[in-house]
Amino acid sequence: MVSRRGFLGGGAAAAASGVLGATGGAYAAGAVGAENLETFAAKRELAFHGDHQMGIEADLQSVTNFISLDIKPGSNRASMLRFMSLLTDDIFRLSRGEPVLADPAPELAIGAARFSAYVGFGPSFFEKLGLESKMPTGFGKLPKFKVDQLQDKHSSGDVLIHIAADDPVVLAHGTRGLVRDAMPFASVRWVQSGFAHTPGMVPPGITHRNLMGQVDGTANPKLGTADFDKVVWIEDGPSWIQGGTLLAFRRIAMQLDTWDQLGTSSKEEVIGRKLSNGAPLTGDIESDIPDLGARHPNGLSVIPEFAHIRRAAPENLDERIFRRPFSYEAGISSAGSVDVGLLWTAYQRNMENQFIPIQRRLDELDLLNEWTVPIGSAEFAIAGGVRPGEVIAEALFSYGVRT
Amino acid sequence: MRKLALILSSLLVLTGCSTKTEVLATDMWVKSSEISTAQGMTAVYGTLTNDSGDDIVLTGGRTDLAEIVEIHEMAMISGEMKMQEIDGGLAIPAGQSIQLEPGGNHLMLMGLTQDLLAGDQITVTFSFRGAPDLVVEGVLAKPAEGGDEEYHSTKTDMEN
């Protein structure tokens, strides 16, 4: 008789002996494996300095905190520059897996784990500081959409610090450091925590699944391409925003109790894609271009008129966004309803030309709206990249200020 | 132009191989202090590394923001941890580092001439016996608590 435990053990032994020839011993194979795992998770770093802030043009990390802050009364450009000086130093160190200065728990700096953080500013920030003239083009409060059921506790804010990493302890430690240094300047308005796949679950560049089961983010511009630059990174306007981007943040609750009552074909028609691999209903693989004109023999559209991908499809090439959505799970009711959804993000050069027209079409007609409800919303202008020796958003604050 | 100490120190590491750097300052910071300027005090922390072949002694320092700069240690005095000036300075043997840290040795700034606000950057000069002065720019003021430190002087007794 082969016990299940024995069978699994045998399988593992076979796998190890496969490595044996290459490394010269079973013990060595185990040791190398563990070391490689550590290298993979802990040692991977994202670059802090560059043309853009970090953590946007990057594969999703596994855990994230969006932290929205309201600045203190009496804040001015000089105090904001001091605020940004602290955050700049902290983020640079954390991105290298190092403790921040004055870290009360430096032993928690155990590896970079692709730590990233970037900083952005909400419309209210510019009003409070009298910096309206420095606001980017196509940026402001989003219009109200019919589908919205927004809650104040999940919405708005003066300053966003968006932190992410591949390890929850690294995330928690980094979050503590950044929030600690924000406290002389601001109070926390809200924190929204989310997650995506653990590294290794899907190959880099492959679209993740959301908690409805859909592959989410298929039509995104590809990282590291000129197309990405054109959709996301701002080239003109006030110098502080050049190399930056505009973020439309939406907390989107999923009504899984009713969604889970649908069958597979109904779910696929709501989206217009196959659940199995994300291919459009008119194609075979995820990267196939949806044929919005295709019809069944009975004359009905293969991708229905109400389907999400039809309504979200850009009407012109400029009307595109880069989505980088994390999932959230915020509890389970006594009746077993899960409070889950997306911390949905759209990055773009101009919200008026990109996110807003797409969202207007979805607001008019998108059957997916039955099961997805925006309950939080915020807008942030993300400052451009940081060169060595510079402070994040320095150009927004430094003119005419004693340094 | 605002320069952060960390940037300078990492550039030193990158470019400093050919120059003969005798003493290196890394991870320098100063505790922010928004108390009244007349009696204000705070401290500078970080790592000093003696890269020379000779033993040296940290004897003191200077900064535009403080009238008095002393090297302090935490010591048990009458059953209480208190800070006091180190007589004769702090030795840094050849090839070794010393840590200036909350709850331990530190460069004490007394008689602050202005508030030192969180996020300010100051310049601190360290003086040694056996090595030239070391000027460190961009020492960042951190809103830190920790190290069980209370700042006392003989004339005043104030909350930090």
pLDDT tens, residue by residue, A268-327: 998 999 998 899 999 999 889 999 999 999 999 999 988 988 888 888 888 999 999 999
Q: For the segment A125-179, what is each residue's pLDDT rounded down to a tens digit?
A: 999 999 999 999 999 999 999 999 999 999 999 999 999 999 999 999 999 999 9
Chain A residue nearest residue B148, CA to CA = A104
Given a contact cutoff of 8 angstroms between Cβ atoms, the answer to whether A54 and A116 are in contact is: yes
Q: For the segment A198-240, what is each residue's pLDDT rounded down to a tens digit?
A: 988 887 766 788 999 988 888 899 999 999 999 999 999 999 9
Q: In this predicted structure, what is the pLDDT of residue A223?
A: 94
Nearest Cβ partner of A403 from B1, B29, B144? B1
Rounded to whole angstroms, the Cα distance separating A190 from A24 reads 53
Task: Report angle CA A376, A381, A386 to the nearest 5 degrees.
Answer: 130
| Section A68-94 average pLDDT | 98
Chain B residue nearest residue A93, CA to CA = B6
Rounded to whole angstroms, the Cα distance separating A251 from A372 reads 10
Residues of chain B contacting residue A82, judged by C-beta atoms under 8 Å apart: 117-120, 141
What region does A393 belong to: left with phi over 0, alpha with psi -120 to 50, or beta? left
Given a contact cutoff of 8 angstroms between Cβ atoms, the answer to whether B31 and B140 are in contact is: no
Nearest Cβ partner of A82 from B6, B7, B119? B119
Percent share of chain A, pLDDT over 70: 89
N-term to C-term CA, chain B: 31
Phi/psi at B22 (5° precision): -90, -45
Task: Suggest the residue from A49, A72, A85 to mutate for an interface test with chain B (most B CBs closer than 10 A).
Answer: A85
Given a contact cutoff of 8 angstroms between Cβ atoms, the answer to whether A35 and A43 are in contact is: no
Task: Using the predicted structure, report yes or no on whether residue B117 has a pLDDT greater than 90.
Answer: yes
| Section A364-377 average pLDDT | 91
Asked if B144 and A104 come within 8 Å (Cβ–Cβ), the reply is yes
Distance from CA of A395 to the nearest CA of B (A): 10
Given a contact cutoff of 8 angstroms between Cβ atoms, the answer to whether B122 and B139 are in contact is: yes
Chain A residue nearest residue B6, CA to CA = A89
Whether A129 contacts chain B with CB within 8 A: no
Of the candidates A69, A89, A71, the residue with the CA atom closest to the CA atom of residue A80: A71
Residues of chain A contacting residue B10, judged by C-beta atoms under 8 Å apart: 388
Whether B47 contacts chain A with CB within 8 A: no
Whether B68 contacts chain A with CB within 8 A: no
Residues of chain A contacting residue B7, judged by C-beta atoms under 8 Å apart: 388-389
Rounded to whole angstroms, the Cα distance separating A66 from A326 reads 10
Q: Is the dihedral of CA B81, B83, B84, B85 positive or negative?
A: positive
Give A378's pLDDT tier (boundaries 50, 70, 90).
Answer: very high
Asked if B118 and A180 come within 8 Å (Cβ–Cβ), the reply is no
B122 in helix, strand or coil?
A: strand
Rounded to whole angstroms, the Cα distance separating A50 from B88 reads 46
C-alpha distance from residue A316 to each of A224, A309, A391, B88 (Å)? 22, 15, 37, 75
Rounded to whole angstroms, the Cα distance separating A143 from A356 reads 8
Whether B15 contacts chain A with CB within 8 A: no
Structure tokens at B91: 């030795």
Domains contained in chain B, CATH given: 5-142 (2.60.40.1890)
Nearest Cβ partner of B29 from A101, A391, A394? A101
The length of chain A is 403
Structure tokens at B149: 């430190």
Structure tokens at A71: 């600045």
Whether B6 contacts chain A with CB within 8 A: yes
User: How large is the ipTM?
Assistant: 0.82
Q: Which of A3-17, A22-36, A292-306, A378-392 has the highest mean pLDDT?
A: A378-392
Rg (CA), chain B: 16
More confident residue, A94 or B79: A94
Residues of chain B contacting residue A102, judged by C-beta atoms under 8 Å apart: 29, 31, 45, 102, 142, 144, 146
Cβ neighbours for A259, distance < 8 A, ≥ 6 positions apart: A212, A267, A371
Task: Tell the burial category of A154 from Cβ atoms under 10 Å away from its Cβ (0-12, 13-18, 19+).
Answer: buried
